[in-house]
């Protein structure tokens, strides 16, 4: 897993994991491995921020163990096998975080959580307004009875609204416009959806993202505002 990590651990539902120290080369994470550590990623880590904190703690443990053994035994360089290597592209919520409501309940749950804290939430539309969704739970109850019901608000329950989707329902606690939670304004029968041009747009690759701008080797600068998408 070269490249991006935390969001992909959620997307791919990964449990068994290995972190390593390797020599720095001109390639991305391609250098010889000199030390590695195996561990399990707990299933109760729901957001990228939580996964990242956990991974950093394991990285510190690995570095500590490596330094404590340094000089006591010869370092062995282990060549990486490129056949088993994969590269995870860098993600941006503004570009890649658009919700495809046709996903099944499990894929939808993982996708939305993968763009949770600290990434601002997954994007969609409600009443022709762009909103971000965060803080969710999934249920296998009350699945959509027809594709037309997918994305429809069924009711409010406690601090959540319940949305019917393929194979179950999503409980949502935060629906944000300009970082303000509008959940108190949501009513049964409201429907979430994503315009097709945004679903096409999300497949673009963000090589480097800074605030609302994307830097690319071929494109010097591209503004990611709604005006750009409309053009």
Percent of the chain at pLDDT exceeding 90: 68
Take residue 214 and report the two structure tokens written for it: 């994307």
Q: What per-residue confidence (pLDDT) applies to 208?
A: 53
Percent of the chain at pLDDT exceeding 70: 89
Same fold, 2-88 and 93-230: no
Q: What is the mean pLDDT of residues 171-186?
A: 95
Q: What per-residue confidence (pLDDT) applies to 201?
A: 79
For the cut 60, the answer to whether the pLDDT of residue 139 exceeds it is yes
Domain map of the chain by residue range?
2-88, 93-230
C-alpha to C-alpha distance for 199 and 126, rounded to whole angstroms: 15
Superfamily of domain 93-230: Formyl transferase, C-terminal domain (3.10.25.10)
Phi and psi at 98, nearest 5°, equal: -90, 130
Mean pLDDT of the chain, nearest integer? 88
DSSP 62: H
Range with the poorest average pLDDT among 88-97, 111-120, 146-155: 88-97
Phi-psi region of 211 (alpha: psi -120 to 50; beta: other; left: phi over 0): left
Q: What is the mean pLDDT of residues 56-73?
A: 90
Sign of the Cα torsion 177, 181, 184, 188 reads: positive
pLDDT band at residue 219 using 50, 70 and 90 as cut-offs: very low
pLDDT: which is higher, 19 or 169: 169
Per CATH, the number for 2-88 is 3.40.50.170
- Residue-wise pLDDT for 14-56, tens only, equals 999 999 999 998 888 889 999 999 999 999 999 999 999 999 9
Phi and psi at 218, nearest 5°, equal: -95, -30
């Amino acid at each position: 897993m070269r490249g991006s990590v935390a969001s992909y651990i959620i997307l791919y539902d990964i449990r068994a994991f290995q972190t390593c120290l390797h020599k720095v080369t001109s390639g991305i994470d391609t250098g010889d491995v000199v030390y590695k550590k195996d561990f399990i990623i707990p299933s109760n880590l729901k957001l990228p921020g939580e996964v990242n904190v956990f991974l950093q703690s394991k990285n510190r443990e690995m570095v500590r163990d490596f330094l404590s053994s340094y000089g006591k035994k010869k370092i062995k360089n282990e060549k990486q096998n490129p056949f088993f290597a994969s590269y995870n592209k860098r993600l941006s919520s503004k570009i890649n975080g658009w919700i495809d409501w046709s996903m099944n309940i499990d894929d939808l749950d993982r996708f939305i959580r993968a763009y949770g804290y600290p990434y601002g939430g997954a994007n969609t539309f409600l009443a022709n307004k762009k909103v971000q969704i965060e803080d969710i739970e999934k249920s296998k109850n009350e699945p959509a009875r027809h594709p037309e019901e997918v994305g429809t608000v069924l009711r409010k329950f406690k601090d959540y609204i319940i949305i019917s989707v393929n194979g179950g329902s999503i409980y949502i606690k935060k629906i944000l416009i300009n970082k303000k939670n509008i959940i108190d304004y949501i009513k049964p029968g409201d429907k979430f959806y994503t315009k097709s041009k945004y679903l096409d747009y999300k497949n673009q690759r963000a090589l480097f993202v800074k605030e609302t701008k994307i830097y690319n080797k071929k494109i010097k600068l591209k503004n990611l505002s709604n005006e750009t998408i409309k053009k």
